[in-house]
Amino acid sequence: MSNSTNKTALITGATAGIGRAYAFELASRGMDLVLVARDNERLTLLANELKNKFDIKTEILVADLTNKVALGEVACRAAAEDIELVINNAGFGIKQDFVGGGLAAEQDLLDVLVGAVLQITHAAMPGLVARNSGGVINVSSVAGWLSSGTYSSAKAWVTSFSEALAFQHRASQVHVMALCPGYTRTEFHQRANMEISTVPNWMWLDVDKVVKTSLKDFARNKPVSVPGLQYKILSFVAQYLPRPVVRRISNTSRR
Ligand SMILES: NC(=O)c1ccc[n+]([C@@H]2O[C@H](COP(=O)([O-])OP(=O)(O)OC[C@H]3O[C@@H](n4cnc5c(N)ncnc54)[C@H](OP(=O)(O)O)[C@@H]3O)[C@@H](O)[C@H]2O)c1
């Protein structure tokens, strides 16, 4: 029987990639889970698998985070007393030029990558602070150091927002962290129709390692986690290069 006093983690984008890896890792550590995504069938299969394999409680919330009502329901669940950890992970990429591309796609991207992170974190933080435990991991990206459109701008916000909250609560037991992965093998690039055949092997991260590293960094109260030595070096360089150089590199590497 699962323990009724287990702490609960809420994970957005739990059906695939990084979110799914978090679900397995946290379930293996005995946490109960609230799994959020749009695909009801995948969520149900995942919830049952985790419940049976790890003897934890699982709950699903079918929600499209571009939808205000659905997002409100997720935020409300994130504010509940049993929530110890919130992982704002749901996301996607778009492949279009800003000029000539659809506004709806850019807006949906901002709604999921920024709006949902803002609202869910805003709902969860008061309870976490009152209980002085747990925290929030916001899945950002090394793309946030670059300058290549709505995606990288949104991730720059996620990183900066998380760093600010982490600093404001540094003396408490509440941890807030931005996870900034580089290229990670998930469904992300295929869903966005991105050409990835030219990305060299050394640039690819393993999703389970990304998640394990991030949880180690979170336990150490790091405000930003950058898994992989290659990305630690690239992130350091990107933060200290002159911005005109960053702008040029960001936009010549755009596919
Ligand atoms: N993979 C990389 O190389 C990489 C690198 C840096 C950062 N990231 C970031 O990592 C996060 C996770 O991406 P991933 O690589 O794991 O991608 P993924 O394998 O495509 O998974 C994305 C998840 O987000 C959910 N999702 C997408 N749109 C949603 C919406 N409107 N409402 C609710 N859920 C939604 C998807 O579930 P449903 O389709 O079932 O809704 C899925 O569970 C993203 O924030 C991404 O920007 C990825």
Does 42 contact ligand 1 (Cβ within 6 A)? Answer: yes
Task: Tell me the pTM.
Answer: 0.97
Atom of ligand 1 at shortest distance to CA of 191? 20
Helical ranges in 4-137 per DSSP H: 17-28, 40-54, 68-78, 103-110, 116-131
- Summarize pLDDT for 101-117 with one digit per residue, the tens: 999 999 999 999 999 99
Q: Which of 118, 94, 117 shows the shortest CA–CA distance to 105?
A: 94
Q: Which of 11, 77, 85, 74 shows the shortest CA–CA distance to 46?
A: 11
Whole-number pLDDT of residue 6: 76
Secondary structure (3-state) at 33: strand
Name the one residue in this structure whose structure tokens are 């890896």: 21
Name the one residue in this structure whose structure tokens are 């709806």: 104
* Catalytic residue IDs: 151, 155
For the chain, give the longest Cα–Cα distance: 58
CB atoms under 10 Å from CB of 128, counted, come to 25
Whole-number pLDDT of residue 78: 98
Q: CB of 124 within 8 A of CB of 225?
A: no
Q: Compute the distance from residue 165 Cα to the ligand 1 centre, in Å.
A: 23
- Token pair belonging to 112: 């999921």
Atom of ligand 1 at shortest distance to CA of 64? 32
Q: What architecture is the 8-252 domain classified under in CATH?
A: 3-Layer(aba) Sandwich (3.40)
Does 65 contact ligand 1 (Cβ within 6 A)? Answer: yes
Ligand 1: residue whose CA is nearest its atom 2: 184
At how many degrees (to 10) do helices 17-28 and 207-219 cross?
60
- Summarize pLDDT for 12-53 with one digit per residue, the tens: 999 999 999 999 999 999 999 999 999 999 999 999 999 999
Does 135 contact ligand 1 (Cβ within 6 A)? Answer: no
Q: CB of 39 within 8 A of CB of 15?
A: yes
Name the one residue in this structure whose structure tokens are 């679900």: 23
Burial environment of residue 215 by CB neighbours within 10 A (0 to 12, 13 to 18, 19 or more): buried
Does 181 contact ligand 1 (Cβ within 6 A)? Answer: yes
Q: Compute the distance from residue 162 Cα to the ligand 1 centre, in Å.
A: 18
Q: What is the mean pLDDT of each run of 10 residues along the chain (255 residues)?
A: 72 98 98 98 98 98 98 98 98 95 97 98 98 98 95 98 98 98 98 94 98 98 98 94 93 63
Does 38 contact ligand 1 (Cβ within 6 A)? Answer: yes
Ligand 1: residue whose CA is nearest its atom 20: 188
Atom of ligand 1 at shortest distance to CA of 151? 47
